[in-house]
Amino acid sequence: MANITASVYTSHVPAIGAALDLGKSHEPYWQPVFKGYDDSKQWLQENKPDVIILVFNDHATAFSLEMIPTFAIGCAASFAPADEGWGPRPVPVVQGHPELAAHIAQSVIQQDFDLTIVNKMDVDHGLTVPLSLMCGQPQAWPCPVIPFAVNVVQYPAPSGRRCFMLGQAIRRAVESYDRPLKVQIWGTGGMSHQLQGPRAGLINKDFDNAFLDRLIADPEGLSRMPHIDYVREAGSEGIELVMWLIARGAMSDVAGEKGGAASSVPPIVKHRFYHVPASNTAVGHLILENPT
């Protein structure tokens, strides 16, 4: 049976991708950002999954105002890096896992969540920057990736509560797949940042660190935080953080194991990192493992 073994959380700043692609990662500005991921790269090599479900948001690259799916699952065999205005990033094409993706779509839709099935999609920095941070600059990404896109660009965005419950449904879906796959789920975007208007440049360290604390220890309570609190405290783009609740909802302490009840044993915090700023964004990063 397939199983979700761990969750990874990370910001996705486009300038981080550019720094890596242009060979600037050792410059004084960037060095502390990348250093925060050294242990994570090691961890990923030692805990290589068979598949990653990568929860991210598209930034009007694959989708536009013409069509705005709230939740979209990538079921294609591959996904090309998008051209975001400066040409596609020179990173590997993302290989998908159509069979597991189709199974998740079937299971999660039958659990009353409306997913849009996407059979062709280019993936922007929301997906490729987290892969770069966790994997560096490999010739190929280490395993297939199922892109799971969430609308946090155009209101109404889904509530944190719905995202959390979706994560629980995704865990049930994965555990009902009858092949022995080790699956990780990654929640990306955030932390506090605002790219527009009079408050552009807003960063809120206190909010971000409290969010990390609660994501670990009180995810259910955190999932009840309304949108207005994200926007007020974490800036207009801080709403990207609701995607972290999808990954957190898929952990065994809140979603249960093999159809069983949720356990009270919290996940193991393998790594925690916070750095301000990278471009306009506070960078936050966590790795949580399910206890075995």
Active site (catalytic) residues: 125, 193
Nearer to ligand DHB, 144 or 189 (CB): 189
Nearer Cβ to ligand DHB (13/76): 13
Q: What is the spatial order of strands in the sheet that 51-56 belongs to?
A: 116-118, 71-74, 145-150, 51-56, 182-188, 3-10, 281-289, 268-278
Find the shortest distance in angstroms from Cβ 227 to ligand DHB. 17
Distance CA 167, CA 108 (A): 10
Is 193 near ligand DHB (CB under 6 A)? Answer: yes
Q: How far is the CB of 169 from ligand DHB (least distance, A)?
A: 26
- 59 touches ligand DHB by CB under 6 A: yes
DSSP 181-239: -EEEEEEE--SS---SSTTTT---HHHHHHHHHHHHH-HHHHTT--HHHHHHHH-GGGG
Site pattern 202..221 for ligand DHB (x: CB under 6 A):
--------------------
Which of 73, 52, 54 has its CA nearest to residue 62? 73
Q: Which of residues 252-291 bind ligand DHB (CB under 6 A)?
A: 279-281
Per CB under 6 A, the list member of 4, 8, 13, 203 interacting with ligand DHB is 13
Residue 15 binds ligand DHB (CB under 6 A): yes
Cis amide leading into 267 (omega within 30): no
Determine if 81 is a binding residue for ligand DHB (CB under 6 A): no
175 in Cβ contact with 160 (< 8 Å): no
Closest distance between ligand DHB and the C-beta of residue 237, in Å? Answer: 5
> Is 78 among the residues that bind ligand DHB (CB under 6 A)?
no
237 forms part of the interface with ligand DHB (CB under 6 A) = yes
Nearest CB to ligand DHB, comparing residues 198 and 221:
198
CA separation (Å) from 26 to 14, 22, 32, 270? 17, 11, 9, 25
The secondary structure of the chain in percent helix, strand, coil, rounded to multiples of 5, reads 35, 20, 40
Is the distance from CB of 216 to CB of 267 less than 8 angstroms? yes
Q: Rule CB under 6 A: which of 119-158 touch ligand DHB?
A: none
Q: Which of 93, 102, 109, 195 binds ligand DHB (CB under 6 A)?
A: 195
Establish if 109 lies at the interface with ligand DHB (CB under 6 A).
no
Classify strands 78-79 and 281-289 as parallel, antiparallel or unpaired: unpaired
C-alpha closest to that of 270 among 12, 41, 16: 41
Q: Which stretch binds ligand DHB (CB under 6 A): 1-9, 12-20, 174-182, 254-262?
A: 12-20
Q: Quick check: 238 binds ligand DHB (CB under 6 A)?
A: no
Q: Does 162 bind ligand DHB (CB under 6 A)?
A: no
Cβ-based nearer residue to ligand DHB, 176 or 279: 279
Least distance to ligand DHB, CB of residue 255, Å: 27
Amino acid present at 70: T
Residues that bind ligand DHB (CB under 6 A): 12-15, 59, 193, 195, 237, 279-281
